[in-house]
Amino acid sequence: MSRPKFIRFSVAAFAALCSFALAGCFSESMFATNERASKQLSPEMVALIEKKGMTKESPILVRIFKEESELEVWKQTTEGKYELLKTYPICRWSGDLGPKIKTGDRQAPEGFYMITPGLMNPNSSYYLSFNTGFPNAFDRALNRTGSNLMVHGDCSSAGCYAMTDEQIGEIFALAREAFTGGQRAFQVQAYPFRMTPKNMARHRNNPNIAFWRMLKEGNDHFEVTHQEPKVDVCDRRYVFNAIPFDPTQPFNAQQKCPVFDQPIEVAEAVKAKRDADQKEYADLVRRGTPTAPLNQFRDGGMNPVFASKFPERDPSGPRLVSTPADAREADGVRSAAADVPTGTTVIPAMASANDEKPGVFDKIGAWLKRNPETPAPQPQQAAAPEPVPAPAPKTRTASAPAPKPKHATQTASTKQPEPAEKPAPQKEAQQQPTMQGSPILSSSSFSAFR
């Protein structure tokens, strides 16, 4: 048997063995605790599932895009591939583009996370929720801290991805049905934006670009296969669909990567996509594609469809705080409210990035009133960040995969930002792991997106 066929056979056999071993571990009773968690899918959603060649119980996968404020639910078809089921506009997310670094920074996480039934919360105070599982092995390897980073309802966020109650109810039901059908965990892929050459060119001067190149590789693995990529962490970086030559050498987030291979069809398809994206990226840079502002002095984002419905939560403008009894969030958990005068206007951008008491997102109701006797202070004008000159495009010729993969190693370090009383015009650059590609792919894998 040839090596590629042997590898594919081994992966399939291992997956089947795991499914058999875990069968019967899930019980629907864990979601029968309240009416919200046990609510059935609507007839319209059931009809959409059937129309797309799926079943209610087939596995799901979730993709999140911050800049576009969209959450996608993908579902496996009867042919075995994942296809897009539905796109949900995100009602609110907090922080800026970039990964979560530490507790209190209000950042919604970016990366690859696995959601097990134990991370689902049917009794959430935010209607319903599921925990992203932050920090994962990659985050812990870089000493990143935080907890209770959720996808939940209530359209209120301080480090989370907040949906409307109706949206999270449907997403929760889709996950519940997938678990009932035998899926042990579903993958969440959280990205700063859609990983297109144009967006990579727009953000080429961002200090997080090396980290985003690494996320893009995982994105490419999914887009060319429409299969959930196998995600591991070694040498403080993500590796995708990697199969160690020596099964006794497991992946360790803190240690050098073992020598590994990838399915040849996947490696070739990813390389072809990467080469095409690099060509388009280089052309965009050569034509002077403008770079996005590094700091817009805004706290997170909201899909435009919600701007008129929840104007006080729109991060592009000031919002009102009602009473001192309002609830607050800290890394996704409600805590006691601070003393905020009635009618005070709070500007999200003026809050410290390291504030342990994130801002209030009020319930819409009769109690949301402006005090006519208390004039709202005007937001301070933040100085615009100085333009960063676009770097000259770097091009390399991608080498063909070597017949005998080499050992892939990379050193990475992190530099934690110093707490500040006021936000600086630009976030301090975070050292991210610099990727050199997996052994089957050449080191030019990430060279174009710099």
DSSP secondary structure letter of residue 446: G
- The catalytic position among 18, 25, 91, 152 is 152
Is the Cβ–Cβ distance between 294 and 206 less than 8 Å? yes
Options 91, 155, 160, 257, the catalytic residue: 160
CA 354 to chain centre: 21
Cα of 300 vs its chain's centroid, Å: 13
For CA atoms 88, 81, 22, 39, give the dihedral sign: positive
- Of 11, 440, 12, 438, nearest to 238 by C-alpha is 438
Residue 72 CA to residue 78 CA, distance in Å, equals 19
DSSP 434: P
How far apart are the C-alpha atoms of 297 and 350, rounded to whole Å?
A: 7
397: nearest Cα among 257, 265, 282: 282
CB 302 within 8 A of CB 310: yes
Q: Is 91 a catalytic residue?
A: no
Cα gap 106→159, rounded to integer Å: 4
Written as one letter, the residue type at 450 is R
Q: Who's near 210: CB < 8 A, 6+ residues apart?
A: 432, 433, 434, 435, 446
- 152 is annotated as an active-site residue: yes
As a whole number of angstroms, the distance between CA 339 and CA 354 comes to 19
- Which residues on adjacent β-strands are paired with residue 365? none
Distance CA 353, CA 159 (A): 11
Side-chain half-sphere CA neighbours of 409 within 13 A = 6
Rg (CA), the chain: 23
The string of DSSP letters for 378-400 reads: PPPPPPPPPPPPPPPP---PPPP
Beta bridge partners of 151: 130, 161
How many Cα atoms are found within 13 Å in the side-chain-facing hemisphere of 407? 9
Q: Is the dihedral of CA 124, 129, 130, 134 positive or negative?
A: negative
Which residues are the active-site residues? 152, 160
